[in-house]
Amino acid sequence: MKKVNFQIFKTLVCISILGLCFLSEAKAQKYEIGGGLGTTAYTGDILRKIDLDHLGLHGTLFGKRNFDNVWTLRLGLTAGTLRATDSVRPYDLVAERRDARFRGGIIEGTAIMEFNFLDFLRNDSEFFWSPYAFFGIGYSHFFAKGNTYAFQFSERYNVGTVVIPFGGGVKYRLDDRWTLAVEAGIRATFTDYLDKVDSRTPPIPRFQDPANPNQPYGINYGNPYDKDWYYFLGVTLSYTIASTKCYAY
């Protein structure tokens, strides 16, 4: 029994020491809160490439911890809109006959690591700006209204998916507290149903039924080898709420 209690005591001491080390280190780090606005875009079965006629809007809120002058952890929440339609610029005859469309909103939570290429976070740094790259993981919930075929009425649907965010941008330190950034982000999803068109959608008959001339016909399902993607481009502004200056001796 005494041996067990001693093991518990040692464990608690180790946890306490680690906690104190973490807190003492945390006080020497910079923390930031901020937000941003920008545009959104989508690619998938309806749009094969980003189309300026199908842009949406997004807003984001985030918190950051700068571990050092290079690595930064960012936790963010983003809400935006996505939309697309075959009728504006169909990429082939099948898409023109399909005439699918969707419009909806997306809510995303992410955990991202940023890498700053220049040492610009120190107050005495010679750099006031830095390009950066980022990668991470997240989860998105998409709620929309759309139709797969032209003859269908638009229906509401919901899609949840894990996303892999990555991209880059440029940061500019306005002063010791404020940082401005321009960022382009890509989201790789694990679903083919953001646009309500996927390989599981039953095809309508290839040839028209002579006994039913009003029946639509054609191949109208999606590509089973291609997932949907979406993109962010925006401007962010962050405020440093805690910092410790570095001094050189």
Cα–Cα dist 180/225, whole Å: 39
227 three-class SS? coil
Cα–Cα dist 166/187, whole Å: 7
pLDDT digits (tens, 9 = 90+) for 205-230: 555 666 776 665 555 566 767 899 99
**What is the end-to-end Cα distance of the chain in Å, rounded?**
53
Cα–Cα dist 237/171, whole Å: 9
Cα–Cα dist 67/195, whole Å: 39
pLDDT (0 to 100) of residue 200: 67
pLDDT (0 to 100) of residue 193: 87
pLDDT (0 to 100) of residue 203: 59
**Residue pointed to by tokens 């075929």:** 149
Write the DSSP symbol of residue 222. -
Contact 171, 120 (CB under 8 A): yes
For every one of its 249 residues, what pLDDT tens digit does the chain have, with 9 covering 90 and above?
444 444 544 554 454 444 444 444 444 358 999 999 999 999 988 888 999 989 999 999 999 999 988 999 999 999 999 999 887 777 777 677 777 889 999 999 999 999 999 988 777 778 889 999 999 999 999 999 887 766 666 788 899 999 999 999 999 999 888 999 999 999 999 998 898 887 666 655 555 666 776 665 555 566 767 899 999 999 999 999 865 544 343
230 backbone dihedrals φ, ψ, rounded to 5°: -140, 165
The pTM score is 0.78
Angle, vertex CA 50, rays to CA 103 and CA 132, nearest 5: 110
Other Cβ atoms less than 10 A from the Cβ of 103: the count is 15
Angle, vertex CA 94, rays to CA 90 and CA 96, nearest 5: 40
Q: Per the structure block, which two tokens stand in for 240?
A: 């440093």
Q: Give the contacts of 248 (CB within 8 A, at least 6 positions apart).
A: 124
pLDDT digits (tens, 9 = 90+) for 65-77: 999 889 999 999 9
Cα–Cα dist 78/81, whole Å: 10
232 backbone dihedrals φ, ψ, rounded to 5°: -125, 140
Report residue 36 CA to chain centroid gap: 13
The domains located in the chain, with CATH, are 29-197+227-242 (2.40.160.20)
Greatest CA separation found in the chain? 91
Cα–Cα dist 29/106, whole Å: 33
